[in-house]
Each structure stands twice: as C-alpha cells, then as structure tokens.
Amino acid sequence: MKKKILISTGGSGGHVIPATILHDHLLKKKDVIISTDKRGYKYLNKNIHKVLIINTPKLNLLLLPFNFFKIVFLFIKSFLFLKKAKINQLFSTGGYMSLPLILAGKFLNLKIYLLEPNLVLGRANKFFLGTCEKIFCYTDQIKNFPDKFRNKKVIINPLVRNQFYEIKNNKTNYDKFHLLIVGGSQGANFFDKNLKKSILNISKKFSLKVIQQTHLNNISSLKEFYSKNNIDNDIFNYDKDFVKKVAESDICITRAGATTLAELSILNVPFIAVPLPNSKDNHQFENANFYQKKNCCWILNQNSFDEKIEQLIEEILQNKSSFFKKKENLSNLNFQNTWINVNQKILNNLDEN
C-alpha cells in the first residue's frame, strides 16, 4: 500500500506550481493530497489533484485575536483530517498557509519536509526548520539559512514541469527575434504599461515577434496596438501549451520567480529579469542573481527599466555574441538536469528512514 503524503501550499503560483510538480514526482510511489487556501485553488487541476482547502488567514497584528481563534479552529480541522486520512508525511512549499497543518503534523509526530525554491530562506520555512526532517533547496548558497541546520539541506535541481524536459528548443534561424514577455500574477500590469513604446521603436530597426502574457481584459487592446503597428504578436492570458511558447522564444523579459526562471533555464532561453522590488527579503533579485553570476541572464532594476530596456534589447540584437554565450551557459548549467534525476533524489530522501 502506498504511503500517504500531504503537500501543503497556497497563495501565489510561486508556491502552488512547485507543489503540483512535487505532486507529479510523488504520484507513482505515494498517495498524494494537496492542501491549499482559496487563492491557490485556481492553480490546481481538480480532475488530477485531490484537494483539501485550509484557508489560513494572514497573520495581521490588528486582527490577531480573530486570527488566533481561526488558526486554532484550522489546527483542529487539520489534526482531524491528518489522523482520519492516515497521512504519513507532510510536505510544505512554504508560506503562512502551512501553519495549522505543520502544527498538527508535529502534534501527530508526522515526518515533515520543506521546499525552499527561492535563493533566500522564507520566513515560514525558517520558523519550521527545527521541526522538519529535511528541507529541499536549489542551491547550497541559500541566504539567511541558520548554520546549525545545514545538515537538513537536500540540494536538488529546480522543480520544472515534466513537459519542459520533453520539448526541445532547436531554433537556428534568428532573422526574426521572438521576444517572450511574462508578467505572471505580479508583473503583467507593469510590462503592459512600460514596454509598448520601446517595442515599437525596436520593431522599426529589427524584425520581431512579441509573445506576451497579459490580463484577460487587456488581450484585445494589446493585440490591437501591436497589429496596427505591423508587429507580429501572440497575446495570451493563460495557455496550457505555455511550454511551446517558451520553446519558440529567443529571449524573455520576466519577473524573477524561481519557477519561471527554472523553466526558461531548462529550455536555454536567456532572460532579462526585472525583480519585483517589494518581494520579501528581496528574494526575486537573489533568484535572478544566481543566474547572472553564471552569465545566463541580464538584470534590470525596475526604477531604471524605462530608460534602459530599449537600449539593452537593441544591443543584444545588434551583436548577438552575448545572447549566444548565455544560451551556451544555460545549456551547460542543465547538462545533467533530468526529470528522472530529480525524481529519484526526492523519493530517496523521503524514503530514507
């Protein structure tokens, strides 16, 4: 009989998407359930995932009395569920959403595992380090990590959806450059407002195709702008074939969420990262800086984005040597990165004891 494991996640796609990838890695060996809050529920496929809703509130000091009673209630709900479902292991992708479940899991003496996809240790994960068996990280150089818990680290390649390993980016003709713009939940508005003029100017000098993610209600206006200016375009909100759009791309302008950068990396797509300025502990900058140190990307500060983005893209298109060098470095970085290798390392560490 398969052991039962619950993956606790919620909030943004940055937490939930890694949880779904973990789900896929574990499914053949484990009976997997995903717990999420209402915000994270939209990222799950209800036909594939077994889902439990634990809607943990943010720990707001002004609402602390109310939140305290709600967390106690959710702790009891979590405790009863974990016991009734006979969960053997608990895996958290970080965030305050996991608080009731981890507390209940600890009370039931479950084996608890953490995932830290960012290059800065998240506050929730740091809080639960003493409780967990192991924490899976993408690098040994993670910031704010207490030295006394270093033996709990398990270093794995970044979690990437299986279809990104299966598709190839074999493009050799760069006469028309394909520019992917990915805003995600926290960047679409900024790129919508601050890129159109620069892209228009660049299109007068170079042949471009723009592949841009935007909000659903902005698709028609953005498509109209590019089309009337004779710029080849593919404007989308959510696309189940997103992997094909990445594989078609030459360069990407993006925020610096860990999963997005890992997906671009595995397909050898150099990127211009614009880290979200208010990301906790500046983790988006650190995510991008990991790749910049390996000469795989460019980083632009949001405050200087308007004045520098056009010049940077033109320099890249004018002399492609930097672009090709970054593609080569990404290929070398992912030389031994396979779904099987990641899968075996996760399962071996979960089943070690």
> Is residue 105 predicted with pLDDT exceeding 80?
yes
CB 244 within 8 A of CB 267: no
Nearest to 282 by CA among 144, 94, 181, 141: 144
CATH number of 164-333: 3.40.50.2000
Q: What residue spans in the chain does CATH classification 3.40.50.2000 cover?
A: 3-157+337-350, 164-333
* More confidently predicted of 188 and 333: 333
Each residue's pLDDT tens digit, 214-249: 988 889 999 999 999 999 999 998 767 889 999 999
The DSSP 8-state label assigned to residue 275 in this structure reads: -
Under the banding of pLDDT at 50, 70 and 90, the label for residue 186 is low
Q: How far apart are CA 315 and CA 248, in angstroms?
A: 21
Q: In a 3-state reduction of DSSP, which class is residue 95?
A: coil
Nearest to 207 by CA among 309, 300, 313, 298: 313
* pLDDT for the residue numbered 353: 58
* pLDDT for the residue numbered 280: 81
Each residue's pLDDT tens digit, 156-172: 999 999 999 998 777 77
Under the banding of pLDDT at 50, 70 and 90, the label for residue 316 is very high
Percent of the chain with pLDDT over 90: 75
Under the banding of pLDDT at 50, 70 and 90, the label for residue 187 is low
- Per the listing, tokens 């940055």 go with 14
CB 52 within 8 A of CB 35: yes
* pLDDT for the residue numbered 342: 96
Instruction: Write out the H or E segment, with its range, that includes residue 248.
Output: helix 242-248
* 3-state helix/strand/coil string of 9-65: CCCCHHHHHHHHHHHHHHCCCEEEEEEECHHHHCCCCCCCCCEEECCCCCCCHHHHH
CATH topology of domain 3-157+337-350: Rossmann fold (3.40.50)
